[in-house]
Amino acid sequence: MDRTPDPEGTTYEPGVPSVRELAPSIVFGALVPLGVYYAVRHHVHSDAQALIIAGIFPVAWILFGVIRTRQFDFIGGIVLFGFVVGVVTSTLLGGNAYVLKARDSVFTAVFGLICIISVFLPGRPAIFYVGRYLSAGNDPEKKVAFDELHELPTGRRTFRILTMVWGVGLLIECSARLILALPSVLSTGAFLAISPVVSGVCIGSMFIFTVIYSNRSRAQATALLLAEAESPALPIPPAEP
């Protein structure tokens, strides 16, 4: 395999989305539910009912995306599954609002633990597969190109460090949200307003670290490969008579 770095080629960045790509998720995942909650809270009997109604809009946005693209997004599937589990669990517990507020944090905690555990297992760590999914999708050629990143001189170490950072960061984000979701800490309305900010700061910080660290690793890999390509080949000793 030719490992000469391509200046215009792929990087280590595991699918960093742009602000434009994130905007619909921010609107339909945070702002709309907050507005709907305040609009319906005084017209229903409990926080749980208001949260369920507010949660319908992010779910509808995900389903709209599935219909529009004719593809079922893995992350969207987790959100849908979490919403259904949260509604069922809350109903079985007599309308428990904390379950509905904490449902997303459970999946965040699980994935954070998976990231940390995968660093100590043989094979590629979790963030490698997340990055390949976000960057290459189902394109076979892009998958092959992304796989080659792991085989570069700094590739293995880079993906393991990124995976550990995301694992620890997600557990911190999850813990903060679970504490803020407690009725004794914040009201439901305040939680809906503050929780996306906490998540945005934590995840945004990890994205920034990912970009900076992956670009530095790419530069190091490029330097190593260029040095390897420019080093003179060792002379082959003559065969003994």
pTM for this prediction: 0.75
Q: What is the pLDDT of residues 67-104, one digit of tens each?
A: 877 776 666 777 777 788 888 888 888 888 898 888 88
Q: Does the pLDDT of residue 212 top 60, yes or no?
A: yes
Residue ranges with strand state E in the chain: none
Between 239 and 151, the more confident residue is 151
Query: Are 13 and 211 a contacting pair, CB within 8 Å?
Result: yes
* Cα dihedral: 137, 139, 145, 149 (round 10): 20
- Separate counts of helices (H) and strands (E) for the chain: 9, 0
**pLDDT value at position 20?**
60
Rounded mean pLDDT, 200-229 = 82
Look-up of token digits 């906490």: 198
Residues 150, 3: Cα–Cα separation, whole Å: 11
